[in-house]
A and B are shown apart, each in its own frame.
Chain A
Amino acid sequence: DGGITQSPKYLFRKEGQNVTLSCEQNLNHDAMYWYRQDPGQGLRLIYYSHIVNDFQKGDIAEGYSVSREKKESFPLTVTSAQKNPTAFYLCASSTGQQETQYFGPGTRLLVL
Protein backbone atom coordinates (compact mmCIF):
# COMPACT_ATOMS: atom_id res chain seq x y z
CA ASP A 1 0.00 0.00 0.00
CA GLY A 2 1.48 3.31 -1.08
CA GLY A 3 1.06 6.29 1.15
CA ILE A 4 2.38 8.74 3.67
CA THR A 5 2.80 7.90 7.33
CA GLN A 6 3.27 10.30 10.18
CA SER A 7 4.21 9.43 13.71
CA PRO A 8 3.32 9.80 16.44
CA LYS A 9 -0.36 10.70 16.20
CA TYR A 10 -0.10 12.72 19.43
CA LEU A 11 3.04 14.30 20.86
CA PHE A 12 3.61 16.19 24.05
CA ARG A 13 6.35 18.72 24.47
CA LYS A 14 7.70 20.22 27.64
CA GLU A 15 8.88 23.81 27.79
CA GLY A 16 12.38 24.21 26.35
CA GLN A 17 12.33 20.82 24.67
CA ASN A 18 12.92 20.01 21.02
CA VAL A 19 10.68 17.37 19.48
CA THR A 20 10.86 15.65 16.10
CA LEU A 21 7.88 14.62 14.00
CA SER A 22 8.35 11.81 11.54
CA CYS A 23 7.10 11.71 7.95
CA GLU A 24 7.72 8.82 5.57
CA GLN A 25 6.38 8.22 2.06
CA ASN A 26 6.65 5.24 -0.26
CA LEU A 27 5.07 6.96 -3.26
CA ASN A 28 8.45 7.71 -4.85
CA HIS A 29 7.57 11.41 -4.76
CA ASP A 30 10.34 13.94 -5.18
CA ALA A 31 8.69 16.79 -3.27
CA MET A 32 7.69 16.81 0.39
CA TYR A 33 6.06 19.47 2.56
CA TRP A 34 5.28 20.34 6.16
CA TYR A 35 2.20 22.34 7.07
CA ARG A 36 0.75 23.62 10.27
CA GLN A 37 -3.00 23.95 10.88
CA ASP A 38 -4.49 26.03 13.66
CA PRO A 39 -8.22 26.02 14.52
CA GLY A 40 -10.32 27.95 11.99
CA GLN A 41 -7.39 28.56 9.70
CA GLY A 42 -6.07 27.19 6.48
CA LEU A 43 -2.84 25.27 6.13
CA ARG A 44 0.36 27.27 6.46
CA LEU A 45 3.58 26.04 4.88
CA ILE A 46 6.53 25.55 7.22
CA TYR A 47 9.15 23.98 4.95
CA TYR A 48 9.27 22.12 1.67
CA SER A 49 11.82 20.05 -0.19
CA HIS A 50 11.71 19.38 -3.91
CA ILE A 51 14.71 17.07 -3.95
CA VAL A 52 16.95 15.14 -1.59
CA ASN A 53 19.46 17.27 0.35
CA ASP A 54 17.64 20.49 -0.48
CA PHE A 55 14.81 22.30 1.29
CA GLN A 56 13.26 25.74 1.35
CA LYS A 57 11.57 27.84 4.02
CA GLY A 58 7.85 28.35 3.78
CA ASP A 59 5.80 31.14 5.30
CA ILE A 60 6.31 30.23 8.96
CA ALA A 61 9.71 28.51 9.22
CA GLU A 62 10.90 30.28 12.38
CA GLY A 63 11.36 27.87 15.27
CA TYR A 64 11.38 24.80 13.00
CA SER A 65 14.07 22.79 11.25
CA VAL A 66 14.01 19.95 8.70
CA SER A 67 16.33 17.54 6.93
CA ARG A 68 15.99 15.56 3.71
CA GLU A 69 18.70 12.93 3.70
CA LYS A 70 16.52 10.32 2.00
CA LYS A 71 13.86 10.66 -0.67
CA GLU A 72 11.25 8.92 1.42
CA SER A 73 11.82 10.78 4.70
CA PHE A 74 11.32 14.42 5.74
CA PRO A 75 11.41 14.83 9.54
CA LEU A 76 10.40 18.10 11.17
CA THR A 77 11.95 19.32 14.42
CA VAL A 78 9.98 21.77 16.51
CA THR A 79 12.62 23.63 18.49
CA SER A 80 12.32 25.45 21.79
CA ALA A 81 12.46 28.68 19.78
CA GLN A 82 8.93 28.00 18.51
CA LYS A 83 6.91 29.83 21.15
CA ASN A 84 3.47 28.60 20.16
CA PRO A 85 3.93 25.04 18.94
CA THR A 86 0.51 23.64 19.83
CA ALA A 87 -1.08 22.77 16.49
CA PHE A 88 -1.92 19.99 14.05
CA TYR A 89 1.05 19.21 11.80
CA LEU A 90 0.55 17.76 8.35
CA CYS A 91 3.11 16.27 6.01
CA ALA A 92 2.48 15.98 2.27
CA SER A 93 4.25 14.86 -0.87
CA SER A 94 3.90 15.34 -4.61
CA THR A 95 5.60 14.21 -7.79
CA GLY A 96 6.70 17.75 -8.51
CA GLN A 97 5.71 21.37 -8.78
CA GLN A 98 2.10 22.20 -9.46
CA GLU A 99 1.14 18.61 -8.86
CA THR A 100 -1.46 17.31 -6.46
CA GLN A 101 -0.18 17.02 -2.91
CA TYR A 102 -1.06 13.92 -0.93
CA PHE A 103 -1.26 14.15 2.84
CA GLY A 104 -0.44 12.00 5.81
CA PRO A 105 -2.82 11.59 8.77
CA GLY A 106 -1.21 14.35 10.82
CA THR A 107 0.41 14.73 14.24
CA ARG A 108 -1.16 16.77 17.01
CA LEU A 109 1.46 18.49 19.15
CA LEU A 110 0.54 19.67 22.63
CA VAL A 111 2.67 21.64 25.04
CA LEU A 112 2.66 20.58 28.70
Chain B
Amino acid sequence: DQQVKQNSPSLSVQEGRISILNCDYTNSMFDYFLWYKKYPAEGPTFLISISSIKDKNEDGRFTVFLNKSAKHLSLHIVPSQPGDSAVYFCAATSGSNYQLIWGAGTKLIIKP
Protein backbone atom coordinates (compact mmCIF):
# COMPACT_ATOMS: atom_id res chain seq x y z
CA ASP B 1 0.00 0.00 0.00
CA GLN B 2 1.71 3.15 -1.25
CA GLN B 3 1.04 5.90 1.24
CA VAL B 4 2.92 8.52 -0.79
CA LYS B 5 2.45 8.57 -4.55
CA GLN B 6 4.20 10.49 -7.27
CA ASN B 7 2.19 9.52 -10.31
CA SER B 8 4.40 11.10 -12.94
CA PRO B 9 7.61 9.11 -13.45
CA SER B 10 9.02 11.93 -15.57
CA LEU B 11 8.38 15.54 -16.57
CA SER B 12 9.97 17.62 -19.30
CA VAL B 13 9.97 21.44 -19.03
CA GLN B 14 11.49 24.23 -21.09
CA GLU B 15 14.25 26.22 -19.43
CA GLY B 16 12.89 29.40 -17.86
CA ARG B 17 9.34 28.05 -17.51
CA ILE B 18 7.64 26.75 -14.38
CA SER B 19 8.09 23.12 -13.27
CA ILE B 20 5.29 21.64 -11.18
CA LEU B 21 5.85 18.33 -9.45
CA ASN B 22 2.95 16.62 -7.74
CA CYS B 23 2.60 14.28 -4.80
CA ASP B 24 -0.47 12.61 -3.27
CA TYR B 25 -0.74 10.89 0.08
CA THR B 26 -3.32 8.65 1.70
CA ASN B 27 -2.47 8.79 5.41
CA SER B 28 -4.34 11.67 7.05
CA MET B 29 -1.99 11.43 10.03
CA PHE B 30 0.92 12.82 8.00
CA ASP B 31 1.71 16.30 9.26
CA TYR B 32 5.14 17.11 7.85
CA PHE B 33 6.23 16.89 4.24
CA LEU B 34 9.59 17.24 2.56
CA TRP B 35 10.97 17.47 -0.97
CA TYR B 36 14.37 16.11 -1.87
CA LYS B 37 16.38 16.35 -5.08
CA LYS B 38 18.63 13.51 -6.22
CA TYR B 39 21.27 13.23 -8.91
CA PRO B 40 22.32 9.77 -10.18
CA ALA B 41 24.68 7.86 -7.88
CA GLU B 42 24.41 10.53 -5.17
CA GLY B 43 22.46 10.88 -1.95
CA PRO B 44 19.29 13.00 -1.94
CA THR B 45 19.64 16.62 -0.90
CA PHE B 46 16.94 18.40 1.08
CA LEU B 47 15.09 21.15 -0.81
CA ILE B 48 12.12 22.40 1.15
CA SER B 49 9.57 21.24 3.71
CA ILE B 50 6.12 22.18 4.93
CA SER B 51 4.19 21.55 8.11
CA SER B 52 0.48 20.73 7.96
CA ILE B 53 -0.32 23.96 9.79
CA LYS B 54 0.70 25.84 6.65
CA ASP B 55 -0.51 25.70 3.08
CA LYS B 56 2.50 27.29 1.43
CA ASN B 57 6.22 27.57 2.02
CA GLU B 58 8.63 29.43 -0.19
CA ASP B 59 12.42 29.38 -0.51
CA GLY B 60 13.90 31.23 -3.44
CA ARG B 61 12.82 29.58 -6.67
CA PHE B 62 11.10 26.74 -4.82
CA THR B 63 7.57 26.86 -3.43
CA VAL B 64 5.67 23.97 -1.88
CA PHE B 65 1.87 24.03 -1.69
CA LEU B 66 -0.15 21.76 0.59
CA ASN B 67 -3.84 20.99 0.12
CA LYS B 68 -4.82 18.93 3.15
CA SER B 69 -8.39 18.31 2.09
CA ALA B 70 -7.19 16.82 -1.19
CA LYS B 71 -4.17 15.15 0.46
CA HIS B 72 -2.02 16.69 -2.22
CA LEU B 73 1.16 18.69 -2.32
CA SER B 74 3.09 20.21 -5.15
CA LEU B 75 6.54 21.67 -5.69
CA HIS B 76 6.86 24.66 -8.01
CA ILE B 77 10.22 25.65 -9.45
CA VAL B 78 10.32 29.07 -11.10
CA PRO B 79 12.19 29.70 -13.32
CA SER B 80 13.45 26.24 -14.21
CA GLN B 81 17.17 25.96 -14.84
CA PRO B 82 19.29 23.20 -16.45
CA GLY B 83 20.78 22.30 -13.06
CA ASP B 84 17.29 21.44 -11.84
CA SER B 85 17.34 18.29 -13.98
CA ALA B 86 17.24 15.52 -11.38
CA VAL B 87 14.87 13.10 -9.68
CA TYR B 88 12.60 14.73 -7.11
CA PHE B 89 11.25 12.78 -4.16
CA CYS B 90 8.37 13.70 -1.94
CA ALA B 91 8.42 12.31 1.64
CA ALA B 92 6.03 12.48 4.58
CA THR B 93 5.99 11.73 8.27
CA SER B 94 3.60 11.94 11.21
CA GLY B 95 3.72 12.94 14.84
CA SER B 96 6.67 11.81 16.88
CA ASN B 97 7.97 9.54 14.19
CA TYR B 98 11.46 8.98 12.89
CA GLN B 99 10.35 7.29 9.71
CA LEU B 100 9.90 9.13 6.45
CA ILE B 101 7.59 7.56 3.88
CA TRP B 102 8.89 8.20 0.36
CA GLY B 103 7.29 8.51 -3.03
CA ALA B 104 8.84 6.75 -6.03
CA GLY B 105 10.22 10.00 -7.47
CA THR B 106 9.69 12.11 -10.58
CA LYS B 107 12.50 12.63 -13.05
CA LEU B 108 12.57 16.29 -14.12
CA ILE B 109 14.24 17.12 -17.42
CA ILE B 110 14.87 20.78 -18.22
CA LYS B 111 15.20 21.38 -21.96
CA PRO B 112 17.41 24.22 -23.20
Binding site for B on A (CB under 8 A): 4, 6, 31, 33, 40-45, 48, 50, 56, 58, 88, 90-92, 94, 97-98, 100-106, 108
- Of B42, B43, B97, B103, the contact of A42 (CB 8 Å cutoff): B103
- Of A56, A58, A103, the contact of B44 (CB 8 Å cutoff): A103
Complex-state Cα separation, A13 to B9, whole angstroms? 31
- Chain A residues with CB under 8 Å of B44's CB are 43, 90, 103
Interface residues on B, range: 20 to 34
Are B49 and A100 touching (Cβ within 8 A)?
yes
Are B93 and A106 touching (Cβ within 8 A)?
no
Complex-state Cα separation, A31 to B98, whole angstroms? 8
- Of A44, A56, A100, A103, the contact of B43 (CB 8 Å cutoff): A103
Are B43 and A106 touching (Cβ within 8 A)?
yes
Nearest first, the 7 A-B pairs at minimum CB distance are A103-B43, A42-B102, A43-B102, A42-B104, A97-B98, A100-B46, A103-B44
Are A101 and B46 touching (Cβ within 8 A)?
yes
Closest A residue by C-beta to B40 = A88
Closest A residue by C-beta to B45 = A103
User: Which residues 60-112 in B have Cβ within 8 Å of A in the complex?
Assistant: 89, 91, 93, 95-100, 102-105
B29 within 8 A of A: no
- Given A31-B98, A42-B4, A45-B99: A98 in contact with B93 (beta carbons within 8 A): yes
- Of B41, B96, B103, the contact of A97 (CB 8 Å cutoff): B96
- Given A58-B99, A98-B96, A98-B97: A40 in contact with B46 (beta carbons within 8 A): no
B21 within 8 A of A: no
